[in-house]
Amino acid sequence: MTEGNFVDYVKLNVSSGKGGKGSIHLHREKFITKGGPDGGDGGRGGHVIIRANEQLWTLYSFKFKRHFAAGHGGGGSKNRSSGAQGEDLYIDVPVGTVVRNSETNEILFEITTAGQEEILAEGGLGGRGNWHFKSSTRQTPRYAQPGRDGVEVPITLELKVLADVGLVGFPNAGKSTLLGTLTAAKPKIADYEFTTLKPNLGIVEYRDYRSFVMADIPGIIEGAAEGKGLGHYFLRHIERNSILLYLIPADTPDVKKAFDILQKELIKYNPELLDKGYMVVLSKADLLDEELLAEYTEEMKVTFKEIPHLIISSATQFHLTELKDKLWKQLNP
């Protein structure tokens, strides 16, 4: 999915380096006219290594370059000198990147911690020089091994956004407005569905110089787990959030039904999402008068009971301080 500078899905072709060939050489010096074999080994080809870089937040750097190749190993030489190793190729990706084989769709590994390094494609072994092949019956072997070829791997990089709090809701539920109010982020806000087509991250400042990261996930619709409304692209960004904040607008006819639909889509996509902490928030409270607000407050108490819940308004900043308190308490029990 691509919008602006944010890229969270890209296909690449990577190739490791070929091993250097072994040397065919016979030892010669001023007074040694018939020395034995002393051809050195070829150097190994360069590896392709995926490396986590916590300074990156998008796969945008791969938008214009899709082919990567490591260096080839150098050939062996006389005096049993080994060839130079091929230069390893490091590919820096953001933390939260999933690496798949494009042909089989198999997950090769996931990058989850800063500084993590994983070898994606090993370089080819260098060929052995002719000194390895001498024996009592073959004292001057005039052959050596060629280096092994490198490996070519088609891969797919998928980025799953890492955040403390993930905003989950239907399109036009007020998620971007809430993020823009609580943080310095400037998400696109408009009065139509699917205004947000990419995750937006913002840092929520809390008391005593503490803070946490909030992510605005694009809107989810019924059937998203089957891919409806680009559901597969959006839902994967929820997996790495510590807490889920279900945001439901106050003008929703049935709040409990809306919550059940959202939760059902998440469970169908990945049942493990149920293990995450969550909170239900009714947004756009500025649309309610005092009587309706009191009515909704009682309804939320009855419907959600032990589940943390709150009624807020991003426009008037109603209960936003209480929201930050509740979220911080859940993040730091």
pTM of the model: 0.69
Q: What is the mean pLDDT of residues 26-46?
A: 86
Residue 29: band (very low, low, confident or very high) from pLDDT cuts 50, 70, 90: confident
Report yes or no: 93 and 53 within 8 Å, Cβ to Cβ. yes
DSSP string of 90-126, one letter each residue: EEEE-TTEEEEETTT--EEEEE-STT-EEEEEPPPPP
pLDDT beyond 50 at 14? yes
**Which range, of 11-15, 83-87, 224-228, 300-304, averages the lowest pLDDT?**
224-228
Question: What does the pLDDT look like over 61-101, one tens digit per residue?
Answer: 888 889 999 999 999 998 888 899 999 999 999 888 999 99
Report yes or no: 189 and 195 within 8 Å, Cβ to Cβ. yes
φ, ψ of residue 154 to 5 degrees: the values are -85, 125
State the first-to-last Cα distance of the chain, in angstroms, to the nearest integer: 35
Element (H, E) at 168: strand 163-168
CATH code of the region 1-159: 2.70.210.12
CATH architecture, domain defined by 163-331: 3-Layer(aba) Sandwich (3.40)
Name the segment(s) of the chain with CATH classification 3.40.50.300.
163-331
Tell me how far apart the 2 most distant CA atoms of the chain are, in Å: 109
Name the segment(s) of the chain with CATH classification 2.70.210.12.
1-159
Residue 184: band (very low, low, confident or very high) from pLDDT cuts 50, 70, 90: low
63 CB-near residues (< 8 Å, 6+ apart) = 2, 7, 10
Question: What does the pLDDT look like over 270-298, one tens digit per residue?
Answer: 888 888 888 998 888 888 888 888 888 88
SS3 230: helix
Strand order in the sheet with 277-283: 200-205, 211-216, 163-168, 241-249, 277-283, 309-311
